[in-house]
Amino acid sequence: MFPASSNICASSASQKRFIVRWEDGSTTVESADSPENFRSEFVSKNLDLIKHVDQDRRFKMHIDSVDTVHSMAGDDVSTEALNWGPNAMDASSVWSQSVEGSGVIVGVVDGMVDITHPQLANNILVNTGEIPGNGIDDDGNGFIDDYKGVQVNKEKNDPALNRHGTHVSGIIVADPAQGIIDGVAPKAKIIPAQFIANDGGGNIGDAIIALNYVAGRGAKIINMSWGLDPCMDIPNLRSTLSDLSNRGLLLVTAAGNGDSRGVGVNMDNTPAFPSAYNFANQINVAASTMSQMLIGFSNYGEKSVHVAAPGVGIYSTTPNQSYEPMDGTSMAAPMVSGVAALLWSAVPTATASQIKQAILNSVTHPPTPLRVSSGGIVNAYDALAKLKALTGH
């Protein structure tokens, strides 16, 4: 039940945390003093109930590896520059049809999300079965006080360091009535599920718990703006995401920000995960510039990367009522999650497969085709028209 680890990856394997996938389809993270003790004291006693066990892995996420981040204080930034991403995807032409993401839930599996930020506060999905702050799991779902999302990792957050999840969330749902950023789907709801710590690292086991949590809360779209080395392709992560795709959820992944030099790599030859899984209901996203080109750090792949979306100089929400620009495929992925939320709010009966098909078959094609399977950049307005044609609306 413990697959052999390569020498390269052996150092990342936890000796005390174990990801257990049970025969009933659930997943838990269990602890023991050593792999040997876990086998003898836990696995042997539950063997008939266990489907697979992986040693958990701790790793540093590939996030913000090339970002230029600075405070907006004192900057003279035009409204057009603040929101060039949604504008480049023609999101306003969808909003003008009173399509703004209403009724759609997006899971943000990432770092900390500042649920008090004025542009996010109204768009956090409330768990009405939970009483906040009483230290009790009121709804019996295994999580205490998950009134506005959940923190799976146990570290105390430092908002000065843990900004990524708030930034990603603002790209998807920032409420323009409450500030300066236009979220792509400003009336959708998000479920924050944190597994990334202050150092940008996390455990695969925590990621799996977070993924299953947002699915259990009703998310139709899961945004994953993070990436792992090839050796992190462990069976329980693959199985979890395969199950979610098969259940009809749309998985949106960031293609990744290149190699150690910040140079984009061809994912057809050099895969990273979870972006390279290419499940049926998965969209893998590269980062494009204002000039409709792939930015140099963005991974690409004519088979394994599907579309591009704005991912350079993207202003969004950060903790403590702040705003910052960031670069990365981490920013491009939530652009696509937002567009998917718009489409699903317009055609609630659509399937994830139809949403994906509409997005991929309606891209804007630059003069020089991009090295992604669709060849182009997401266009919200054309995607909505394509979805209506596909579904007969």
Q: 52 exposed, middle or buried (CB, 10 Å; 0-12, 13-18, 19+)?
A: middle
Span 4-24, pLDDT tens digits: 344 445 557 889 999 999 999
Identify any residues that bridge with 273 across adjacent strands, giving them in sequence order. Answer: 228
User: In angstroms, rounded to a whole number, what is the distance separating the alpha carbons of residues 169 and 120?
Assistant: 8
Residue 301 region by backbone torsions, left for phi larger than 0, else alpha for psi between -120 and 50, else beta: left
Span 21-64, pLDDT tens digits: 999 999 999 999 999 999 999 999 999 999 999 999 987 765 44
Span 52-74, pLDDT tens digits: 999 999 877 654 444 444 344 44
**What distances in angstroms separate CA 202 from CA 35, 320, 334, 365, one per listed residue?**
20, 23, 20, 37
- Fill in the amino acid letter for 21: R
Confidence of residue 227 (pLDDT cuts 50, 70, 90): confident
pLDDT of amino acid 156: 95
8 A C-beta contact, residue 374 and residue 361: yes
- DSSP letters along 285-343, please? EEEE-TTSSB-TT--BBTTT--EEEE-SSEEEEETTTEEEEE-SHHHHHHHHHHHHHHH
CATH architecture of 79-391: 3-Layer(aba) Sandwich (3.40)
Domain limits of the chain?
7-59, 79-391
User: In angstroms, rounded to a whole number, what is the distance separating the alpha carbons of residues 195 and 197?
Assistant: 6
Round the average pLDDT of the chain to a whole number and report it: 92
**For the chain, how many residues are written?**
393
Span 251-287, pLDDT tens digits: 999 999 988 788 999 999 999 899 999 999 999 999 9
| Tokens describing residue 392 | 């007969």
Output b/e per residue, 55-92; b: 16+ Cβ within 10 A.
bbbbbebbbbbbbeeeeeeeeeeeeeebbbbbbbbbbe
| Residue whose C-alpha is closest to residue 205's, from 1, 104, 57, 82 | 57
Span 93-142, pLDDT tens digits: 999 999 999 999 999 999 999 999 999 999 999 999 999 999 999 999 99
pLDDT of amino acid 58: 87
**What distances in angstroms separate CA 255 from CA 140, 202, 218, 227, 336, one per listed residue?**
36, 19, 25, 8, 12
Q: Supply the Cα-derived Rg of the chain in whole angstroms.
A: 20
pLDDT of amino acid 7: 45
pTM: 0.94
pLDDT of amino acid 72: 43
DSSP 266: B
Say whether the peptide bond before residue 274 is cis (omega within 30 degrees of 0). Answer: yes
Helices and strands counted in the chain (H then E): 12, 13
Region 147-154 average pLDDT = 96
Residue 3 has pLDDT above 60, yes or no: no
Q: So which residues are the catalytic ones? A: 110, 164, 330
